[in-house]
Structure 1
Amino acid sequence: MHVVIMGCGRVGASLASALQRLDHTVAVVDKDAASFHRLSRGFTGQRVTGNGFDRDVLVEAGIEGATAFAAVSNGDNSNIISARVARETFGVEHVVARIYDPKRAEVYQRLGIPTVATVPWTTDRFLRMLLPEGVATDWREPSGSVAVLQLPLHEGWVGRRVDELETATGARVAFLMRFGNGVLPDRRTMIQADDTVYVAALSGTVTDVTAAARRTPEEDD
């Protein structure tokens, strides 16, 4: 398939090389022609100089035949405008925009533009590397406000109900993994030995939620 990338920073250049290795055709758009030096020596795709939300520039990059468009410049406004032009004007099926401001990400998601909220995602990656048994999340919604994480439980929670755990932690149990299968619990579901529990929590409460789950249920009664 043909992919148009707006922004030839480190992410754009890396994405272009990765797509080309997968045998896709790629066009990279950037308003600064000097940015193309970041592309790998083996890159054979198009280099188009201009604004990524300019229709003529996008046409030159092959947007009319593109299956996917990625806006990864260093400006939130430029990314979302170009993404909307790709989606709404040219009907590109797969469009993604990188957004630095997590508060904007939710708004753009509602407009039908999938976003990658860079700051929350990067924070989670650092947590995973710094705290192998810590509070890193497995998923975060676009605004970064709600996180889903695997909860490290004290063994005393075995045999207790899901609603008791929710009361103690202030989080919502999203699902359990039991014997390799996903389980959607209700309030009376009992936690069994070897269950892996995933909860949804507000981002600012993740540390407190984790700490509460590591205590014995008696400490929270």
Structure 2
Amino acid sequence: MHFVIMGCGRVGATLAANLTEYGHSVAVIDHSPDSFRRLPEGFSGQRVTGMGFDREALIQAGIEDAHGFAAVSSGDNSNIIAARVVRETFGVSNVVTRIYDPTRAEVYERLGIATVSTVKWTVEQVFRHLIPLGPHFDWIEDDAGIAIVGIDLDPSWFGRSVSDLERATKARVTYLTRLGRGTLPSPSLVLQDGDALHMTVETDRAGAVQRIANHPAQEDL
């Protein structure tokens, strides 16, 4: 498959290198030829000097045959304009845009443009380290008020079933990771030490669900 990347900063160069390692063809667009020095030696993809929202530069990069487009330059406005040009002019639906402003990122998500909010993601990662106990939000649907969160368990829950936890929290165990493998648990699955648990909850109840999970399990569940 062919991919076009706008922006050859650290993110764009790393993304381009990873895609080529997986056997895909890649074209990278950047207005500064010096930026291409960030690409690894022997990079087999195409280097296009120009603006990522310029029609001629996009065509030169092969956008008409592209499976996907990533706008990861350092400018929110440039990324947004490029994403809209690629979607609306060239009909590429698989478009991902990096947006620094989290408020604007939410707006463009609602317009159907997949966004990665750099600031929001960084804050969440720092928060996870500062406060190791959750809830840690993996995914939020703001309009519906639903989220998937990583939940930490008090050791007393080990040996109890998934249904026990769901009954106590009034939330749903979406999936868990055990020994590095993800699984969709049945209600009867017994929780074990080391399980990484993710639950679907009403967003405004995420804190309450985590507090229940952080406290000892009740014997009468």
State TM-score, norm by structure 2.
0.73
Matched residue SS, 2:48: strand
1:36 positional shift: 1.4
Tell me the equivalent position of 1:68.
68
Matched residue SS, 2:23: coil
Matched residue SS, 1:141: strand
The answer to whether the 8 Å contact 1:175/1:197 transfers is yes
1:141 positional shift: 3.4
The answer to whether the 8 Å contact 2:97/2:113 transfers is yes
2:40, 2:5 → 1: CA distance?
15
Mark the CA change 1:82 to 1:147 in structure 2 (over 3 Å): closer, same or farther.
same
The answer to whether the 8 Å contact 1:71/1:82 transfers is yes
2:29, 2:172 → 1: CA distance?
44
1:27 positional shift: 1.0
1:55 positional shift: 0.8
Matched residue SS, 2:136: coil
Mark the CA change 1:176 to 1:87 in structure 2 (over 3 Å): closer, same or farther.
closer
Tell me the equivalent position of 1:137.
136
Unaligned residue ranges in structure 2 (runs of 5+)? none
Are 2:197 and 1:194 equivalent residues in the alignment? no
Tell me the equivalent position of 2:25.
25
Aligned-residue sequence identity (percent) comes to: 46
Tell me the equivalent position of 1:214.
214
1:133, 1:110 → 2: CA distance?
31
**RMSD (Å), alpha carbons:** 3.4
Q: Aligned letter for 1:120?
A: K
The aligned length equals: 203
Q: Aligned letter for 2:201?
A: A
The answer to whether the 8 Å contact 1:117/1:142 transfers is no
1:59-88 CA-to-partner distances (Å, cap 9, x unmatched) read 111111211110001111211111111111
Tell me the equivalent position of 2:119.
119
1:177-204 CA-to-partner distances (Å, cap 9, x unmatched) read 6x95346x9xxxxx9862856143649x
Tell me the equivalent position of 2:184.
181
1:152 positional shift: 2.5
Q: Aligned letter for 1:200?
A: V
Matched residue SS, 2:116: strand
The answer to whether the 8 Å contact 1:125/1:136 transfers is no
Q: Aligned letter for 2:105?
A: A
1:62, 1:192 → 2: CA distance?
49
